[in-house]
A and B are shown apart, each in its own frame.
Chain A
Amino acid sequence: MQYDTIVQALIGGALIGLGAISLMLFNGRIAGISGITAGAMTDRIKGGAWRIAFLAGLVVAPLITSAAQFSLPQSIDLSLTQLVVGGLLVGIGTQLGSGCTSGHGICGLARFSTRSVIATALFMATAALTVAVTRHML
């Protein structure tokens, strides 16, 4: 692995951490992207507009970073079936399990939450197993 790649990963990661902790420091919320997305669709209670603002930032950010040559992937080399089935399972699984890579994997681990440690270990292991099966066994 190249030194540049590691530095770029660490800097990108630090920005993710900074965005996540500032949502806690200013809005008092866990930066769980699956929970925020579902909440934006289902929670009609007043005071939920922060979710829309947060999601807007997430969607717009790559348009800004592309000015510095950090861009989105040009093509997705996966079948439509993988993406549709994958998307459905990601949607259901993150709701049932109360979190994804951001809520459990970053915020939860940093809070030393036992639930998040268990969830992160489980989704990492099953994801690796799924890749092992689809790439090396089928």
Chain B
Amino acid sequence: MLKLLTALMSGLLIGAGLTISTMVDPKRVLGFLDILGNWDPTLIFVMGGALLVYMPVYQLYIKKHKTTLLSEPCQIPDNHKADKSLVVGAILFGIGWGLSGICPGPGLANLSGGNEKIFAFVLSMLIGMLAHHWWAKSRAN
């Protein structure tokens, strides 16, 4: 129960941060990605602010202890070498992000706005995720 509350709090903080930083607006994100146009550097400061909080706590506490404050093991991905799927996946994601100006967090955070274009984006994203899941599963069998 406690861990459901902490997860809810994390989601609330991230959603609030995305809204306050205006990253929920695809116009702002596309303004950052548009380096040939009237470039908008806002996204750099958002990422910078997030890294300034995450990096020291991770490097000074989590890396050393590898456990949560509730003394349970942290699930940290292996830092193994980049492979073909990482490269192809990042490129496909980049094209999709460049077309829409929306990545998964801002897409979901926009749902309560009731905009049908956001519903179309999120639905397509969920279909894309499930398509990958089924494809990976059928390849494993």
- The chain A residues found within 8 Å of chain B, CB to CB, are 1, 5-6, 8-31, 33-34, 37-38, 41-42, 49-51, 53-66, 70-73, 75-78, 80, 82-98, 100-102, 104-107, 109-115, 118-120, 122-132, 134-136
Contact = CB atoms under 8 A, between A and B. Distances in A.
Nearest to A87: B124
Interface string B40-73: 1111011111111111011101110001111011
Contacts, number: 475
Interface of B: 2-27, 30, 33-37, 40-43, 45-55, 57-59, 61-63, 67-70, 72-77, 79-82, 85-105, 107-113, 115, 117-118, 120-133, 136
Contacts of A18: 13, 17, 53
What 6 pairs between A and B have smallest CB-CB spacing?
A91-B128, A97-B89, A13-B49, A57-B11, A12-B21, A61-B15
B98 A94 contact: no
A84 B49 contact: no
Nearest to B74: A28
B86 A97 contact: yes
